[in-house]
Structure 1
C-alpha cells in the first residue's frame, strides 16, 4: 500500500483526512490474510501530532487463528504517551488473573544509590522472634515496608522534580527564540537535559518490566511474531463490514 499511516475506519482519525481507498485496501489485507485486529483498551488513539492536534489509531496487533485458539480472550492495551508521539501498546494474551503481586521491585530502582543504604539499614534494625521461617517472613515484610516508604518519599518526589526540569527547559528554549542564551543558561539546559534523559531511560526499563516483554537482546524487540496465514473463519465475518469504507 505504501502508506503506513493508514487506519481502518473514519472514527480512527481526528483532524486529519481519512483515505477510504487506503482503508479499504488495509481491510482487504486483514480479511484475505484471515487475521484478527485485537480489541484495544486504554487510549483510543495511539498517535498524537501536536501540530494541528491530529489523532489517529495507527498501532494495533493483528493475530492469526493459531494464536486465538490458544488465547481466545486476548486483547491489547494502549498506554499513555510520554516522550514519544506514539502510545506504547501491550499485548494481553494470558487470561489468568491472580490479582496484584504482593510486592514489585522495579529494576530501575536499583540504579538509585540510596536504595542500597535503605536495605542495609532496614535489615540492621530488624528484630525477629519465633522459628527461623517466621523470622525470615517478618524480615521480608519489614524490608518491603522500608522500600515502599523510600519509594514514596524518593521516586514519587522525583516525578515532580522532572516536571519542573521540563518546564525550566521549555522556558530556556522559549528565551532562545528572542535573544541569545547566556553561558549559564546553556549549561543549565544541558544539565537538565541529561537528567530528563536519564529519567526517561529508567521509565523505559519500568515499562519493559511491567509489560513482561520478552527481549532477546536488551534494547532489541523480539521480532519473531506471527507470519503464517491460517484459517480464521470464526472471526472473518466480524471484519467484513469494514470493507464498506
Structure 2
C-alpha cells in the first residue's frame, strides 16, 4: 500500500470528484452485518484535468455486483453563457505603459457632472482596458508558446555553432519568456483567489487544478421552498432574480412608522428641518 501511495504521489495524480452514492461497495449482508465502503476511485493527472475541467464521476446503483458501476462523464462548461464580466487583471500593473494609458483615457473630456460623469469615465475606461488588453497582452498562453519555440530554436543553433548575435537574442527572448510566464502566474493566481505566490515551474498546473476544484463547488441544481427545481445555470439565474425581486417588493411596502419626535431635541428651526427632509 505504501508503494502504491508513492506511485500516486510521484505521478501527481488527483482524485476526481464523485457524485451520486457516497459509497461504492457493499457486502450485501443484512441488518447489522451490512458494511459500506468507498473502494472504487478515479485518479487523473494534471494534464487531463486541465483539458477537461468539468469531468465528474457518478456512482450508479448496484445490481448484481457488490460494487457500484462508475460512470465518468466529460462535460462542457455550462457556466459560460452570457457576456463575460469585466475583470481587472493584476498583471496589467506591471506593464510600463499601463498608468499612462489610464491617465490618457481618464482625462478625456466628458459631458455631465458629479456621479454621472464618474460613471461615464469608468464605463469608458472599462471598454478601453479591454481593447488595450487584447492589443498588448492577447492570449498569454499563445505568447508563451511562441517564445518557447523561439528559445528552443536558438538553443539548438548554439549547440551546433556558437554565435554572439544568437547568444544575445537567446538572452533577450529568455527574459521576455520569464516576463510572460510571471504574467500568466499572476492571472491564474488572481482567478484562483490565491494571495500568495509559489516558486517553481509547476505554478500554472497547480493554479489550473485549484481552479478546477473551484468549478466543482458551483451550484448545479437548486430547489425553492415551494418545491420548484432549477436544473441549469440559466434557470438558477432567473429563479434567483425572480425570488429577490418579489422579496424586495414585499419588503418595500408602505408601513406605519413609530413616532420618535419626543426623542429628538429641537436644535434647528422648523424651516431648516423641512429642507433637510426633502428628497435631494
Using structure 2 for the length normalisation, give the TM-score: 0.43
Largest Rg, 1 or 2: 2
Structure scoring higher RCO (CA < 8 A, sep ≥ 6) equals: 1
Using structure 1 for the length normalisation, give the TM-score: 0.49
